[in-house]
Amino acid sequence: MTEMNLLQAINSALDIAMASDEKVLCFGEDVGGFGGVFRATSNLQKKYGKNRCFNTPLTEQGIIGFANGLAAQGQSPVAEIQFADYIFPAFDQIVNETAKFRYRSGNQFNVAGLTIRTPYGGGISGGHYHSQSPEAYFAHTPGLKIVVPRNPYQAKGLLLSSIRDQNPVIFFEPKRLYRASIGDVPETDYELPLGEAEIVSVGSDITVIAWGAQMEIVEKAGAMAGEERISCEIIDLRSILPWDVQTVENSVKKTGRLLINHEAPKTGGFAGEIAATIQERCFLYLESPICRVAGLDTPYPLALEKEYTPDVFKTFEAIKAAMNY
């Protein structure tokens, strides 16, 4: 085990993926010699050469179109989009091409090897173009997998699985935690399962779900609730698509209450999907309405970032409200 921050864990995963499979290629804007604006791809070009780790021109639609072509030929491209806010020029390539490649060709062709890495989320004074959490747009696209890690250990294991998974994966990295989240990470190769949530702490009164950087928030809120003798079962969803309905269902049948927290705006956010599915499956078990603590239905602000975000206090209040319903 070595202590790593989230960036180092990602770098370690990429390093191992490239060492263990020569079809793994890493590229994107500033990714090559410089190692990416956040340095997630540091030293990879030095180690694996310019053919396998390189800069692309500044064109996201080009990057993903190119990656689709590589993957269709059988490579395992790991394409970086510098900020999730800038993934939209590639929306067509992802939604209409990446996601449907296998389906439309009757699986004669697929882009199974493709992984798209991109930093997402707020809390860094980034305003509306360096803070968005766009996972829900992609969750509406059958054919994609969507994964979001919460800490360095998770990041490395989930990224290795994402790269090796036989489906295209969008891997959203919580950039607020890049350097802030530090933990023990094995130096060795390991994988964590996609499509499986993880119960982070066991509880009996209310189920609280989040993913990525919001995990830290709900864990703190859970601790505050604990001081008021409310026992929270906290779940990291980890995969948004497909998501682990069974773990959530089992938990809600036990606690009778559910809170979902995400940073993206409330309307059309992935919490709505979870809430709808869980009420179908757990209707008679519910003791309070399923509740969403999310970003406001506005662009991500700058000066009033703190006010906007679904923070610890909003989550804590929502937990109490569910208990007192």
Ligand X SMILES: Cc1ncc(C[n+]2csc(CCOP(=O)(O)OP(=O)(O)O)c2C)c(N)n1
Q: Is 86 in the site for ligand X (CB under 6 A)?
A: yes
Residues with active-site annotation: 60, 130
**Alpha carbons 77 and 23: distance in angstroms, whole number:** 8
Q: 24-63 mask for other proteins (x: CB under 8 A)?
A: -----xx-xxx--x-----------------x-xxxxxx-
Instruction: For residue 291, give the DSSP letter.
Output: E
Query: CB under 5 to 8 A by kind: which of other proteins, ligand X, none does 176 bind?
Result: none
Least Cα distance to 174 among 223, 210, 137, 138 occurs for 210
Q: Is 201 helix (H, G, I), strand (E, B) or coil?
A: strand
Query: CB under 5 to 8 A by kind: which of other proteins, ligand X, none does 61 bind?
Result: other proteins
| CA 40 centroid distance within chain | 16
Residue showing tokens 């979001």 = 148
The DSSP string of 215-240 is HHHHHHHHHHHHHTT--EEEEE--EE
Q: How many residues bind other proteins (CB under 8 A)?
A: 40
Query: Which single residue brings its beta carbon nearest to ligand X?
Result: 86
Q: Return the residues of window 53-72 that contact ligand X according to CB under 6 A.
A: 58, 60
Q: Read off the tokens for 297.
A: 């239905």
Q: How far apart are the first and last CA of the chain?
A: 45
Query: CB under 5 to 8 A by kind: which of other proteins, ligand X, none does 307 bind?
Result: other proteins
Answer for which of 12, 42, 82, 315 binds ligand X (CB under 6 A) is 82
Q: Is 50 helix (H, G, I), strand (E, B) or coil?
A: coil
Instruction: For residue 284, give the DSSP letter.
Output: G
Separation in Å, CA 4 to CA 1, 11, 36, 154, 245: 9, 10, 18, 12, 31
Q: How far is the CB of 64 from other proteins (least distance, A)?
A: 11
**Alpha carbons 144 and 135: distance in angstroms, whole number:** 11
The number of residues making up the chain comes to 325
Q: Return the residues of window 15-34 that contact ligand X according to CB under 6 A.
A: 29
Q: Which stretch binds other proteins (CB under 8 A): 125-133, 213-221, 224-232, 283-291?
A: 125-133
**Alpha carbons 226 and 149: distance in angstroms, whole number:** 25
Q: 70-109 mask for other proteins (x: CB under 8 A)?
A: ---------------xx-xx--------------------
Q: Is 173 in the site for other proteins (CB under 8 A)?
A: no
Q: Return the residues of window 223-282 that contact other proteins according to CB under 8 A.
A: 266-267
**Alpha carbons 153 and 194: distance in angstroms, whole number:** 14
Q: Read off the tokens for 280.
A: 């179908």
Q: How far is the CB of 324 from other proteins (least distance, A)?
A: 14
Query: CB under 5 to 8 A by kind: which of ligand X, other proteins, none does 296 bind?
Result: other proteins
Q: Is 128 in the site for other proteins (CB under 8 A)?
A: yes
- Footprint of other proteins (CB under 8 A): 29-30, 32-34, 37, 55, 57-62, 85-86, 88-89, 125-130, 266-267, 296-299, 301-304, 306-308, 311, 313-314, 317
- Footprint of ligand X (CB under 6 A): 29, 58, 60, 82, 86, 89
